[in-house]
């Protein structure tokens, strides 16, 4: 049996908040330890709830992020790694064991908002408080708690614009706290702990995430570098070019926010400081902060929905006549649909773990409308392949594009992948980057190679159906089929 700690212990339970700066639960743990002549025990537990929310790409990110967090803890504690204590078990079992073996006086964490996490956390908080252990949770994930933003009638919001206006009427988010300079860690011997390697997070059955590190640097320092690289170099163009995948002007902070390597308060105030320092750039800063608002809205909807991942918020879509077409689904997943902008996005996703937001809307629309494949299938693929996939944003976005979610694009709004490509990738540079077999196509035909003459195709080295696939379905045919299915659903529920 491990030797018990003589000093009282405050457990800091890290989850999706893998940072030291602006971490209210960590600050509470340190304060409690100082007030009680105790120590802080930082833990991460890969329990069934968290494990179920991870796909291959997010597992890759988590492995790297935990290592960076451990290094930061060691530096703040003036010691050597490992400082972050790792477990792979049910969280209740871990805390019961720690209680039995050590002088546990407090447990702190930052809140999560999905139903499974809320149920687990509520049970743990109740049990520990019954044992007279200080137990508290904090907002380390959002600008505003889901229950703080209400309609005039006191209910939750269903539409983004009034939700965001209500947020902006609330007191501004508090200034972010700096990282603690010192953390009083002990050197406890713990039963049944493992290490990061023991979590077995590497993608299986083979490491298909090798290209992710060329795009991203997981960890708190990587998040700060990403934030200020965006603020200093790209925010100025954000309002005008944010929908252009051929211009990388978006922040690409979403995976850092998903794992809490940076807080939304830090991002909010950095953008605000930029606007204050550049009086003519208020519009672009506001556009960017509205994207934080969409993240807030997704969590607001997640908190209030019954089951955002499984059940359509608009119940009539339960009876939608989805198609069962595994071959079309696989071609979509592999970037072989025959629609160049779609294939570029799906290949970018596979190679980098990321996809531009405009392209996410295009590929999603083609899947659920032109191909009539259930949004559950797109959600599952993105859950596995996106480094920023999370329980709020991913299902919220798929319900939005499927026409069945909160403030959703109507199902009959069907993106034309050719027109979308021509508008947002006008010279085809994005397509050329990710679909090299079309690299020599003239810009006039890069988004619709089937319209090019045999002579033009031959000059570009393109043999439709051989070197590049024919479209899975005609654009007009797919649109008409989708609208017919929509009318069938409406008749079925009338």
Mean pLDDT of 471-489: 96
**Range in 134-138, 257-261, 325-329, 487-491 with the lowest mean pLDDT:** 487-491
pLDDT in tens, 211-228: 999 999 999 999 999 999
Q: What confidence score (pLDDT) does residue 68 get?
A: 98
Average pLDDT over residues 76-81: 84
Q: Does the structure show a pLDDT above 90 at 492?
A: no
- List the CATH code of the domain at 315-488: 1.10.579.10
| Average pLDDT along the chain | 96
For the cut 80, the answer to whether the pLDDT of residue 46 exceeds it is yes
* Residue 396 in this model has a pLDDT that exceeds 60: yes
Q: What is the mean pLDDT of residues 137-157?
A: 98
The one catalytic residue among 164, 332, 398, 434: 398
The pTM assigned to this predicted structure is 0.96
Q: Is 294 a catalytic residue?
A: yes
Q: Is the pLDDT of residue 232 over 80?
A: yes
Q: Which of 494 and 253 is assigned the larger pLDDT?
A: 253
Q: Where are the domains of the chain?
A: 9-140, 142-176+220-304, 315-488
Q: Is 450 a catalytic residue?
A: no
Question: Does the structure show a pLDDT above 60 at 349?
Answer: yes
The pLDDT, as a whole number, for residue 79 is 78
In the chain, what percentage of residues exceed pLDDT 90?
92
Residue of 291, 296, 377, 437 marked catalytic: 291
pLDDT at position 70 over 90: yes
Residue 3 has pLDDT above 60, yes or no: no
Q: What angle do CA 183, 72, 100 make, to 5 degrees?
A: 55
**What pLDDT sits at residue 4?**
59
Do 27 and 10 touch, CB atoms closer than 8 A?
no
The catalytically annotated residue of 96, 208, 357, 450 is 357
For domain 142-176+220-304, which CATH number applies: 1.10.490.20, 1.25.40.80, 3.90.180.10, 3.40.50.1390? 1.25.40.80
Q: Is the pLDDT of residue 1 over 80?
A: no
pLDDT in tens, 351-391: 999 999 999 999 999 999 999 999 999 999 999 999 999 99
pLDDT greater than 50 at residue 210: yes
Does 375 qualify as catalytic in the annotation? yes
In the predicted model, what is the mean pLDDT of residues 467-473?
A: 98
Q: With pLDDT > 70 as the criterion, what percentage of the chain qualifies?
A: 99
pLDDT for the residue 5: 63
* 108-130 pLDDT tens trace: 999 999 999 999 999 999 999 99
* Top-confidence residue, 6 or 337: 337
Catalytic residue chosen out of the listed positions 294, 332, 350, 400: 294
Residues 322, 332, 350, 381: which is the catalytic one?
322
pLDDT of residue 409: 78
* pLDDT for the residue numbered 217: 98
Instruction: Assign domain 9-140 to its CATH superfamily.
Output: HUPs (3.40.50.620)
Catalytic residue (choose from 375, 381, 400, 434): 375
């Amino acid at each position: 049996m491990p030797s018990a700690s003589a000093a009282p212990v405050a457990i800091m339970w890290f989850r999706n908040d893998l940072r030291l700066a602006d971490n209210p639960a960590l600050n509470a743990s340190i304060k409690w330890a100082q007030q009680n002549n105790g120590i802080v025990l930082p833990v991460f537990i890969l329990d069934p709830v968290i494990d179920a929310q991870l796909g291959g790409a997010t597992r890759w990110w988590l492995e790297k992020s935990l290592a960076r967090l451990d290094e930061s803890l060691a530096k703040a504690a003036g010691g050597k790694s490992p400082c972050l204590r790792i477990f792979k078990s049910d969280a209740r079992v871990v805390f019961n064991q720690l209680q039995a073996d050590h002088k546990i006086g407090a447990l702190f964490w930052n809140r999560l908002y999905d139903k499974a996490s809320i149920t687990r956390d509520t049970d743990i908080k109740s049990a520990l408080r019954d044992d007279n252990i200080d137990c508290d949770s904090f907002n380390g994930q959002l600008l505003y708690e889901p229950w703080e933003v209400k309609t005039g009638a006191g209910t939750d919001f269903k539409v983004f614009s009034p939700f965001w206006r209500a947020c902006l009427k609330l007191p501004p988010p508090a200034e972010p706290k700096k990282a603690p300079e010192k953390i009083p860690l002990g050197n406890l011997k713990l039963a049944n702990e493992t290490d990061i390697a023991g979590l077995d997070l590497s993608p299986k059955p083979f490491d298909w995430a090798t290209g992710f590190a060329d795009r991203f640097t997981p960890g708190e320092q990587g998040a700060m570098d990403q934030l200020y690289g965006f603020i200093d170099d790209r925010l100025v163009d954000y309002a005008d070019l944010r929908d252009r995948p051929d211009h990388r002007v978006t922040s690409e902070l979403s995976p850092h926010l998903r794992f809490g390597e940076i807080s939304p308060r830090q991002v909010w105030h950095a953008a605000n400081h930029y606007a204050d320092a550049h009086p003519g750039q208020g519009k672009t800063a506001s556009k960017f902060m509205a994207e934080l608002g969409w993240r807030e809205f997704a969590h607001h909807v997640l908190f209030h929905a019954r089951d955002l991942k499984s059940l359509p918020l608009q119940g009539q879509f339960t009876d939608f006549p989805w198609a069962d077409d595994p071959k079309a689904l696989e071609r979509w997943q592999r970037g072989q649909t025959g629609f160049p902008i779609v294939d570029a996005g799906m290949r970018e996703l596979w190679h980098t773990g990321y996809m531009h937001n405009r392209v996410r809307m295009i590929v999603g629309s083609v899947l659920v409308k032109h191909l009539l494949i259930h949004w559950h299938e797109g959600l599952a693929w993105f859950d596995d392949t996106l480094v920023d996939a999370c329980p709020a944003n991913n299902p919220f976005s798929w319900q939005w594009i499927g026409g069945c979610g909160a403030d959703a694009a109507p199902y009959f709004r069907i993106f034309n992948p050719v027109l979308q490509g021509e508008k947002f990738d006008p010279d085809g540079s994005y397509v050329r980057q990710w679909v090299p077999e079309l690299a020599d196509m003239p810009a006039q035909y890069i988004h619709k190679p089937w319209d090019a003459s045999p002579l033009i195709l031959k000059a570009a080295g393109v043999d439709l159906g051989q070197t590049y696939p024919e479209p899975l379905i005609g654009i007009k045919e797919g649109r008409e089929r989708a609208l017919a299915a929509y009318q069938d659903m409406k008749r079925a529920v009338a």
